[in-house]
Amino acid sequence: MARMHSRDKGKSGSSKPIKAIPSWAPYKGKEVEKLIIKYGKEGKSASEIGTLLRDKYGINSVKAVTKKKVTTILRENKLASELPEDLLALIRKLVAVKAHFEKNRQDMTCKHGVELTSSKVRRLVKYYQK
């Protein structure tokens, strides 16, 4: 299947993590939940928390250890943001591109970028409204 706004076909760059918890896993479920809550209170997003847990603590799959997703744990403790993370990132990008376009009205490549990004935002909003 082709990419959204290009002709490239592309291939997936990652593989699914192993479902089984390795015997050498340094943390148990409740400890991981406490770490997630700690980083959630610091204002980290779900993807930032996942990256931190993977790189700093050696936890490759939160779902395998806790039987819940990071966003589920954050929601249970009322730490999740109201908007989904992917939509929030696209809106931030759209604001930045629009600000650039306001300063540089002759930049037609930027105008095209604004159109593509706003199209992605509309598509995601429609998805989340279902």
pLDDT of the residue at 19: 74
State residue 34's pLDDT score.
Answer: 96
Place of tokens 């896993």: 25
91 with 119, same domain: the answer is yes
Position 37 in a domain: yes
pTM as predicted: 0.77
Q: At what angle do helices 46-57 and 29-41 cross, to 10 degrees?
A: 130
The pLDDT score that the predictor gives to residue 85 is 94
Q: For the chain, what is the domain count? A: 2
Domain interval for residue 43: 29-76
Alpha-carbon distance of 73 to 36, in angstroms, equals: 8
Is there a single domain that holds both residue 64 and residue 37?
yes
Q: Please give the pLDDT value at position 8.
A: 84
Let me know: does 51 contact 60? Beta carbons within 8 Å. no
Q: Each residue's pLDDT tens digit in the chain (130 positions)?
A: 677 888 888 777 777 767 777 777 788 989 999 999 999 999 999 999 999 999 999 888 899 899 999 999 999 999 999 999 999 999 999 999 999 999 999 999 999 999 999 999 999 999 999 8
Q: Do the domain assignments include residue 12? A: no
